Amino acid sequence: MSITDVTTAAPATAAGPKAHTVGMVDDVPMGEGRTFVVAGEQVAVFRLRNGSLHATQAACPHAGGPLADGLSDVNVLVCPLHQYAYRWSDGASTNGGSPIRMYPVRERDGYLVVEV
């Protein structure tokens, strides 16, 4: 089990979000999600088959479901507990639930960098 929290020297904007390297891109299998702890927050990082990366809050706002265990496609992430779906584009729930929080995430030299 590896939950890494390496704060890098990425350009730290004054007080706003900071970039954190959370692990290797390969820690997240194609099409799935994995949870990381970033600056004290739990963040779920997803790697879609189209190559895009997404990062969300780890717990579903509906009833705390583990979002990293959900199924997803190019448009939405579906929580495994009650199948609420959340749009990657803005985190909004398509079922009328609360939205999820999205974090910027990108790859750098094979590492996953999340801004929290």
- Smallest distance from other proteins to CB 1, Å: 6
Residue 79, binding choice from other proteins, ligand FES, none, Cβ under 5 to 8 Å by partner class: ligand FES
Q: What single letter denotes the amino acid at residue 39? A: A
10 vs 63 by CB, closer to ligand FES: 63
Tokens of 16: 């706003």
Residues 6+ apart with CB under 8 A from 105: 45, 53, 54, 55, 112, 113, 114, 115
Report the candidate in 112, 19, 32, 18 with the shortest Cα–Cα distance to residue 66.
32
- Smallest distance from ligand FES to CB 105, Å: 21
Q: Which of residues 58-77 bind ligand FES (CB under 6 A)?
A: 60, 62-65
Element at 111 (helix H, strand E): strand 111-115
Residue 114, binding choice from ligand FES, other proteins, none, Cβ under 5 to 8 Å by partner class: none
Binding site for other proteins (CB under 8 A): 1, 3, 26-35, 37, 42, 44, 49, 58-78, 80-82, 85, 87, 90-92, 94-102
- DSSP E strands: which ranges in 5-110? 6-7, 19-24, 33-38, 41-47, 53-57, 71-72, 76-78, 85-87, 102-103, 105-108
97 vs 111 by CB, closer to other proteins: 97
Question: Which chain residues interact with ligand FES by CB under 6 A?
Answer: 60, 62-65, 79, 81-82, 84
